[in-house]
Each structure stands twice: as C-alpha cells, then as structure tokens.
Amino acid sequence: MSDEENESKAEEEENDEKGVKKDKEKKHNKEKKEKRDKGKKDKNKEESEEEDEEEKDDVKGKKQDKEKKDKKDKEKKDKSKELSEEEDNEEKDDKEKKVKANAAEVATREIKVEEDKKASDSEAKEKNKSKKKEKEGKDEKQKDSKKDKAEKKRKLEDKYKSKDLSKLKSKLDKINATLEALQLKKADILKTIKETEDKNLAVVESPKDAESKAHDE
C-alpha cells in the first residue's frame, strides 16, 4: 500500500472520528436541550398546579366565608326569634294579670251588689211592716221592688255579658236563688201580716156581733 493511500485512509479515519465526535456533541446538546425543555415543562406544570391550588384555596376560602356569614345570619335570626318569643311571653303574662285583676274587680262589684240587694230587701221589709193596712200601696211597692230587681238583674247581665260567661252565669244563678229565697220569705211575711190583720178584724167584729144578738133578744 502506498503512502498516499495510507494518508488518505488516515484522513478518512480522522474525519470519521470527527463525525462521530460531532454526532456525540449533537446528541449531547439535544439531550441537554430536551432536559432543559422538560425542566421548563415541569416548572410550568408545577406553577400551573400551584395556581390551581391557589384557585381551589380561594374558592374554599370564599365557601368558608359564605358558611361563616350564613352561620352568623342564622344566629341573628335565632336570637331575634328568642327575643320575639320572650316579648310574646311577657305580653301573655300581662294579659293574664289583667284578666285576674278584672276578675277580682268583678267579684268585688258582685259582693257590693249583693250587699246592696240585702240592704234594699231589709228596707222593703221595714216599709211593709210599717204599712200593714195599706194593701194597695204594698202591692204597688211589691211590683216596684220586683221591677227594680229585674232592672238590676238586666243591668248586671248587660254589664258583665262580655266577661267570662260561665263564671258570671254561675254567680247569676246564685243571685237568682238568693232573690227567690228572699221573695219567698217576703211572701211568707205578707201572708203572716194578712193573717194577723184578718184575726184583728175578727176580734173587732166579735163584740159587735154579741151586742147585736143581745139587743135582738
């Protein structure tokens, strides 16, 4: 083999080595670039994930804020409801107190009315005793007394009809029973008075009858 051939072959081998070296450099640069690109992608991915996490945290934070606000609103509503219930209970207590006070006042008035009726009946008895011989006057006064009692009864019914009807009716029945008993007693007294007057008249007429019989004989 000649020197030229050897030289040519050596040059080719040198060129091949340079080509391989260049290929290796290219490959290395390519790998280096791919590694940089991958690093950038990973970094972008991490940043994107961080942004997603931040967005999720923001949404979560807003949701928590909304829940807190809803909780506060609910607490306010519950507190307002409790205050309203307390006010209703106080108003109810006030009404019950007023009802009890009215009932006590009604009872006091009824006692006074009964006392007035007793006094009136007592006066009527005294008048009847002092006017035994005035039958027409007695009858008239008896009618007036019944009329007054009926008028008082009507006024009482009109006055208390808006109150507790069951209690008032019960008390009215008691008053009626008392009036009936007084009227019966009054009738007995009148009857006794009449019987006494009849006896007195009989006693007065008896001596006259005896005198008349003696004169005839």
Q: Residue 127 in contact with residue 141, Cβ under 8 Å?
A: yes
Residue-wise pLDDT for 167-190, tens only, equals: 888 888 899 999 999 999 999 999
Residue-wise pLDDT for 27-55, tens only, equals: 888 888 888 888 788 777 777 787 777 77
| Res 169: pLDDT | 83
DSSP track, 117-184: HHHHHHHHHHHHHHTTT-HHHHHHHHHHHHHHHHHHHHHHHHHHTTS-HHHHHHHHHHHHHHHHHHHH
Instruction: Give the residue carrying structure tokens 């609103």.
Output: 73
Output 197 or 12, whichever has higher pLDDT: 197
Output 123 or 77, whichever has higher pLDDT: 77
* Every domain of the chain and the residues it spans: 87-216
Q: Identify residue 98 by its one-letter amino acid code.
A: K
Q: How many residues does the chain have?
A: 217
